[in-house]
């Protein structure tokens, strides 16, 4: 199987952004990344948020549970409203019409 257009677009978005090190993210940066992920305008922000939580949980390090729950509630709600998981969790860019 090849890379779909959406996967290719997500990779391109991530490649164009400045990489935040998951260990060095401040609370303010984490809140800003959450806002970007929720509005669907920045798929790279959603990927950063997922990476942050994955690495922190995987390495048994503390993480902001409030932000994780807010992100999960947002994503699950979008899925229940009929969105794809990628769209609901901000990994797929929303169009200008939305």
Residue 13 pLDDT more than 50?
A: no
pLDDT in tens, 25-83: 788 989 999 999 999 888 988 998 999 999 899 989 889 999 999 999 999 999 999 99
- pTM score: 0.74
pLDDT classification of 9: cutoffs 50, 70, 90? low
Cα angle 21, 5, 36 (rounded to 5 degrees) comes to 40
- Do residues 41 and 7 touch, judged by C-beta distance below 8 A? no
C-alpha 97/C-alpha 77 separation (Å) is 20
* pLDDT value, residue 15: 47
* pLDDT value, residue 7: 54
């Amino acid at each position: 199987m090849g890379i779909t257009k959406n996967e290719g677009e997500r990779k391109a978005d991530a490649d164009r952004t400045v990489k935040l090190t998951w260990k060095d993210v401040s609370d303010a940066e984490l809140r800003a990344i959450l806002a970007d992920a929720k509005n669907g305008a920045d798929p790279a922000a959603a990927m950063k948020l997922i990476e942050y939580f994955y690495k922190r949980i995987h390495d048994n390090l503390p993480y902001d549970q409030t932000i994780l729950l807010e992100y999960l509630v947002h994503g699950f709600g979008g899925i229940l409203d009929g969105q794809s998981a990628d769209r609901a969790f901000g990994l797929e860019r929303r169009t200008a019409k939305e």
